[in-house]
Amino acid sequence: MNAIISASDLAHALTGPTPPVLLDVRWQLTAAKASGEPPFDGRAAYEAGHLPGAVYVDLDRELASAPGTGGRHPLPDLARFGAAMRAAGVSSRTPVVVYDGGQGWAAARAWWLLRWTGHPDVRVLDGGLPAWEGPLETAVPDPAEGDFAPEPGAAGLLDADAAAELARSGVLLDARAGERYRGEVEPIDPVAGHIPGAVSAPTTENVGADGRFLPADELRERFKNLGVSQSSPVGVYCGSGVSAAHQVLALAVAGIPAHLYVGSWSEWSADPARPVAVGPDPQ
């Protein structure tokens, strides 16, 4: 099953016999500005207009635990996550489509969590809300309770030690901007640089100017040029496990399974015992 869905295909699916549950996961990594402008409010954006029937999901509260030693966006408490998904109408036998404001990072985080915890039919709206040409609504739906019970998979998740090993034995992709990978700037975390052996692979290069994923063959070529092959184990990290989920999604579109290091650089860099590399070379 393809991991993404076009807006036209979604419009068709919504009129079918088993319409998907829609999850709106609008989110941005922002902070309050010096001018006094408040940080981005995903719920307010949702209430101003969303796909008909979509339910809002809060990334920081429902798709992650509170920041701590596990990074800025650790895995959520699974009981809380499951309750949020059921409240949104998610059932194990009902398809789910997730979207955000167009960047794709937050939607990919929801996609990855649902897939990792056992949901068999989850896709991301390619291009997010800007790609949707149908009507929007402001009414907040009250869906019937779903029955989804998250059951984490045995594979797909990396911790810090496994990420370090994969950087030596396979391919570990760093999904952050190149300047953060090289250690030239670090606007968020305490140390600049990258995990030794990781390869720079900015998430922004997975999509075209319209915010939609590149064709699968172009993505396969991109990852091949980064050292990825069908036989090599692949892992991805970023700052806090959000944009890296988008990279895992891009790899899935290309037909390449990959693991996610959820703690990512925010966990790695907080441990002074972990080595740090700087510059354009992996080592």
Degrees (nearest 5) of the Cα angle 51, 53, 250? 55
The whole-angstrom distance between residue 239's C-alpha and the CA centroid of its chain comes to: 12
Q: Residue 249 corresponds to which tokens in the numbers above?
A: 């999604």
Cβ atoms within 10 A of the Cβ of 137, count? 12
Burial of 274 (0-12, 13-18, 19+ CB in 10 A): middle
| Under 8 Å between Cβ of 58 and 65 | no
Residues 6+ apart with CB under 8 A from 103: 28, 128, 211, 246
Q: Residue 132 corresponds to which tokens in the numbers above?
A: 């949707």
Exactly one of 3, 51, 238, 251 is catalytic; which is it? 238
- Residue 238 annotated to the active site: yes
SS3 40: coil
Residues known to be catalytic? 238
